[in-house]
A and B are shown apart, each in its own frame.
Chain A
Amino acid sequence: GNSVTQMEGPVTLSEEAFLTINCTYTATGYPSLFWYVQYPGEGLQLLLKATKADDKGSNKGFEATYRKETTSFHLEKGSVQVSDSAVYFCALISSGAGSYQLTFGKGTKLSVIP
Protein backbone atom coordinates (compact mmCIF):
# COMPACT_ATOMS: atom_id res chain seq x y z
CA GLY A 1 0.00 0.00 0.00
CA ASN A 2 0.87 3.67 -0.12
CA SER A 3 2.63 5.40 2.74
CA VAL A 4 4.34 8.70 3.49
CA THR A 5 7.00 9.23 6.13
CA GLN A 6 8.04 12.72 7.13
CA MET A 7 10.42 13.96 9.77
CA GLU A 8 9.13 14.24 13.29
CA GLY A 9 8.62 17.69 14.66
CA PRO A 10 8.41 20.12 16.11
CA VAL A 11 11.00 22.14 14.25
CA THR A 12 11.99 25.51 15.67
CA LEU A 13 14.02 27.93 13.57
CA SER A 14 15.07 31.53 13.79
CA GLU A 15 13.81 33.95 11.18
CA GLU A 16 15.82 33.83 7.92
CA ALA A 17 17.14 30.33 8.65
CA PHE A 18 17.16 27.58 6.00
CA LEU A 19 14.38 25.01 6.23
CA THR A 20 14.34 21.38 5.18
CA ILE A 21 11.52 18.98 6.02
CA ASN A 22 12.24 15.47 4.84
CA CYS A 23 9.58 13.33 3.18
CA THR A 24 9.89 9.84 1.72
CA TYR A 25 7.18 7.66 0.27
CA THR A 26 6.20 4.23 -0.93
CA ALA A 27 3.54 3.89 -3.58
CA THR A 28 2.16 1.73 -6.32
CA GLY A 29 2.23 3.08 -9.80
CA TYR A 30 3.38 6.63 -10.50
CA PRO A 31 2.14 8.89 -7.73
CA SER A 32 1.69 12.63 -7.71
CA LEU A 33 3.25 14.32 -4.71
CA PHE A 34 2.00 17.27 -2.67
CA TRP A 35 2.91 19.50 0.23
CA TYR A 36 0.02 20.96 2.19
CA VAL A 37 0.26 23.61 4.91
CA GLN A 38 -2.10 24.09 7.84
CA TYR A 39 -2.04 27.43 9.66
CA PRO A 40 -3.46 27.55 13.19
CA GLY A 41 -7.24 27.20 13.24
CA GLU A 42 -7.49 26.63 9.51
CA GLY A 43 -7.86 23.76 7.07
CA LEU A 44 -5.11 22.38 4.90
CA GLN A 45 -4.02 24.42 1.90
CA LEU A 46 -2.12 23.12 -1.07
CA LEU A 47 1.38 24.58 -0.98
CA LEU A 48 2.95 22.91 -4.02
CA LYS A 49 2.85 19.75 -6.08
CA ALA A 50 4.86 17.66 -8.54
CA THR A 51 3.38 15.09 -10.83
CA LYS A 52 6.34 13.23 -12.33
CA ALA A 53 9.94 12.38 -11.64
CA ASP A 54 12.38 15.33 -11.53
CA ASP A 55 9.54 17.87 -11.45
CA LYS A 56 10.09 20.73 -9.04
CA GLY A 57 7.10 22.26 -7.33
CA SER A 58 7.46 25.77 -5.95
CA ASN A 59 5.32 28.38 -4.23
CA LYS A 60 5.86 31.25 -1.76
CA GLY A 61 9.61 30.57 -1.70
CA PHE A 62 9.15 26.88 -0.90
CA GLU A 63 10.47 24.19 -3.23
CA ALA A 64 10.38 20.41 -3.46
CA THR A 65 11.77 18.10 -6.11
CA TYR A 66 10.23 14.74 -7.00
CA ARG A 67 13.11 12.24 -6.67
CA LYS A 68 12.01 8.86 -7.93
CA GLU A 69 15.38 7.21 -7.34
CA THR A 70 15.28 8.03 -3.63
CA THR A 71 11.45 8.11 -3.37
CA SER A 72 11.70 11.50 -1.71
CA PHE A 73 10.02 14.91 -1.88
CA HIS A 74 11.83 17.09 0.64
CA LEU A 75 10.48 20.58 1.31
CA GLU A 76 12.96 23.46 1.40
CA LYS A 77 12.94 27.20 1.88
CA GLY A 78 15.99 29.39 1.87
CA SER A 79 14.84 31.97 4.41
CA VAL A 80 11.87 31.33 6.65
CA GLN A 81 9.63 34.01 8.14
CA VAL A 82 7.54 34.07 11.28
CA SER A 83 4.46 33.83 9.07
CA ASP A 84 5.65 30.40 7.87
CA SER A 85 4.88 28.93 11.30
CA ALA A 86 2.41 26.15 10.59
CA VAL A 87 2.08 22.39 10.24
CA TYR A 88 3.34 20.94 6.96
CA PHE A 89 1.99 17.71 5.48
CA CYS A 90 3.57 15.66 2.74
CA ALA A 91 1.06 13.64 0.72
CA LEU A 92 0.73 11.49 -2.34
CA ILE A 93 -2.02 10.34 -4.59
CA SER A 94 -1.83 7.25 -6.71
CA SER A 95 -4.33 6.14 -9.27
CA GLY A 96 -3.83 2.46 -8.55
CA ALA A 97 -7.09 0.54 -8.70
CA GLY A 98 -8.93 3.71 -9.69
CA SER A 99 -8.56 5.24 -6.27
CA TYR A 100 -7.79 8.92 -5.88
CA GLN A 101 -7.29 9.04 -2.16
CA LEU A 102 -4.59 11.21 -0.67
CA THR A 103 -2.16 9.48 1.66
CA PHE A 104 -0.76 11.94 4.22
CA GLY A 105 2.28 11.95 6.40
CA LYS A 106 1.79 12.75 10.08
CA GLY A 107 2.71 16.40 9.68
CA THR A 108 5.66 18.46 10.88
CA LYS A 109 5.06 21.50 13.04
CA LEU A 110 7.31 24.45 12.24
CA SER A 111 7.76 27.36 14.60
CA VAL A 112 9.76 30.36 13.42
CA ILE A 113 10.92 32.78 16.09
CA PRO A 114 11.95 36.40 15.48
Chain B
Amino acid sequence: DAGVIQSPRHEVTEMGQEVTLRCKPISGHNSLFWYRQTMMRGLELLIYFNNNVPIDDSGMPEDRFSAKMPNASFSTLKIQPSEPRDSAVYFCASRTTGTVNQPQHFGDGTRLSIL
Protein backbone atom coordinates (compact mmCIF):
# COMPACT_ATOMS: atom_id res chain seq x y z
CA ASP B 1 0.00 0.00 0.00
CA ALA B 2 1.20 3.51 -0.75
CA GLY B 3 2.08 5.59 2.26
CA VAL B 4 1.64 9.32 2.70
CA ILE B 5 3.05 11.01 -0.39
CA GLN B 6 4.55 14.47 -0.25
CA SER B 7 5.86 16.64 -3.02
CA PRO B 8 8.26 18.09 -3.76
CA ARG B 9 10.94 16.32 -1.71
CA HIS B 10 13.18 19.37 -1.91
CA GLU B 11 12.42 23.00 -2.65
CA VAL B 12 14.89 25.84 -2.88
CA THR B 13 13.57 29.30 -3.61
CA GLU B 14 14.27 32.94 -2.96
CA MET B 15 12.62 34.89 -0.22
CA GLY B 16 9.40 36.56 -1.20
CA GLN B 17 8.35 33.76 -3.49
CA GLU B 18 5.22 31.69 -2.98
CA VAL B 19 5.82 28.10 -1.91
CA THR B 20 3.24 25.31 -2.17
CA LEU B 21 3.76 21.96 -0.50
CA ARG B 22 1.53 19.04 -1.37
CA CYS B 23 0.34 15.96 0.44
CA LYS B 24 -1.65 12.88 -0.49
CA PRO B 25 -2.79 11.00 2.62
CA ILE B 26 -3.24 7.26 2.84
CA SER B 27 -6.52 6.22 1.26
CA GLY B 28 -9.22 5.85 3.90
CA HIS B 29 -7.52 8.06 6.44
CA ASN B 30 -9.73 10.96 7.47
CA SER B 31 -7.34 13.00 9.60
CA LEU B 32 -4.42 14.91 8.16
CA PHE B 33 -1.66 16.79 9.96
CA TRP B 34 1.01 19.26 8.86
CA TYR B 35 4.20 19.52 10.92
CA ARG B 36 7.36 21.57 10.72
CA GLN B 37 10.71 20.28 11.96
CA THR B 38 13.74 22.43 12.73
CA MET B 39 16.84 21.93 14.84
CA MET B 40 15.88 24.77 17.15
CA ARG B 41 12.20 24.00 17.71
CA GLY B 42 11.99 20.29 17.00
CA LEU B 43 8.69 18.96 15.65
CA GLU B 44 5.80 21.43 15.67
CA LEU B 45 2.18 20.75 14.71
CA LEU B 46 0.99 23.48 12.36
CA ILE B 47 -2.57 22.44 11.57
CA TYR B 48 -4.75 19.38 11.35
CA PHE B 49 -7.91 18.42 9.51
CA ASN B 50 -10.67 15.93 10.27
CA ASN B 51 -12.82 14.94 7.29
CA ASN B 52 -11.29 17.79 5.25
CA VAL B 53 -12.25 20.41 7.84
CA PRO B 54 -9.52 22.37 9.67
CA ILE B 55 -9.86 21.62 13.37
CA ASP B 56 -6.92 23.39 14.96
CA ASP B 57 -4.66 25.86 13.20
CA SER B 58 -3.20 27.41 16.34
CA GLY B 59 0.24 26.18 15.35
CA MET B 60 0.31 28.12 12.10
CA PRO B 61 3.02 30.69 12.75
CA GLU B 62 1.72 33.64 10.78
CA ASP B 63 -0.84 34.75 8.24
CA ARG B 64 1.75 34.02 5.58
CA PHE B 65 0.93 30.34 6.12
CA SER B 66 -2.27 28.78 4.86
CA ALA B 67 -3.46 25.20 4.42
CA LYS B 68 -6.31 23.69 2.48
CA MET B 69 -7.82 20.28 2.05
CA PRO B 70 -10.22 20.44 -0.91
CA ASN B 71 -10.91 16.70 -0.81
CA ALA B 72 -10.06 13.57 1.13
CA SER B 73 -7.03 12.74 -1.00
CA PHE B 74 -5.18 16.04 -1.23
CA SER B 75 -3.91 18.87 0.93
CA THR B 76 -1.65 21.86 0.39
CA LEU B 77 0.40 24.05 2.67
CA LYS B 78 1.19 27.44 1.20
CA ILE B 79 3.64 30.10 2.32
CA GLN B 80 3.30 33.52 0.76
CA PRO B 81 5.58 35.41 0.91
CA SER B 82 8.31 33.05 2.06
CA GLU B 83 11.13 34.13 4.39
CA PRO B 84 14.49 32.53 5.23
CA ARG B 85 13.25 31.60 8.71
CA ASP B 86 10.66 29.33 7.07
CA SER B 87 13.46 26.99 6.05
CA ALA B 88 12.68 23.60 7.62
CA VAL B 89 11.48 20.11 6.83
CA TYR B 90 7.70 20.00 6.51
CA PHE B 91 5.94 16.71 7.18
CA CYS B 92 2.44 15.58 6.41
CA ALA B 93 0.84 12.73 8.37
CA SER B 94 -2.50 10.97 8.24
CA ARG B 95 -4.50 8.57 10.39
CA THR B 96 -7.95 7.15 10.86
CA THR B 97 -10.06 8.55 13.66
CA GLY B 98 -11.70 5.31 14.71
CA THR B 99 -10.00 5.00 18.07
CA VAL B 100 -7.60 7.17 19.99
CA ASN B 101 -4.73 4.69 19.72
CA GLN B 102 -4.50 4.74 15.94
CA PRO B 103 -1.00 5.94 15.00
CA GLN B 104 -0.17 8.70 12.59
CA HIS B 105 1.63 7.73 9.39
CA PHE B 106 4.19 10.21 8.13
CA GLY B 107 5.39 11.11 4.68
CA ASP B 108 9.08 11.54 3.91
CA GLY B 109 8.82 15.30 4.16
CA THR B 110 9.64 18.33 2.03
CA ARG B 111 12.98 19.96 2.77
CA LEU B 112 12.43 23.68 2.17
CA SER B 113 15.26 26.17 1.85
CA ILE B 114 14.48 29.87 1.49
CA LEU B 115 17.46 31.89 0.35
Asked if A45 lies at the interface with its beta carbon under 8 angstroms from chain B, I say: yes
In the complex where A100-B95, A101-B56 touch, is A49 in contact with B101 (Cβ < 8 A)?
Answer: yes
Residues of B within 8 A of A (CB-CB), count = 23
The 3 A-B residue pairs with the shortest CB-CB distance, nearest first, are A43-B106, A32-B101, A95-B100
Residues of A within 8 A of B (CB-CB), count = 22
* Interfacial chain B residues near A101, Cβ < 8 Å: 33, 45, 48, 56
A108 vs chain B, min Cβ distance (A): 11
Per-position 1/0 for B49-72, Cβ under 8 A of A: 000000110000000000000000
Given A46-B103, A51-B101: 11 more A-B contacts, CB < 8 Å: A41-B108, A42-B109, A44-B104, A49-B103, A93-B100, A93-B101, A94-B100, A99-B55, A100-B100, A101-B45, A101-B48
Taking CB atoms and an 8 Å cut-off, the chain A residues in 65-113 that contact chain B are 89, 93-95, 99-102, 104, 106-107
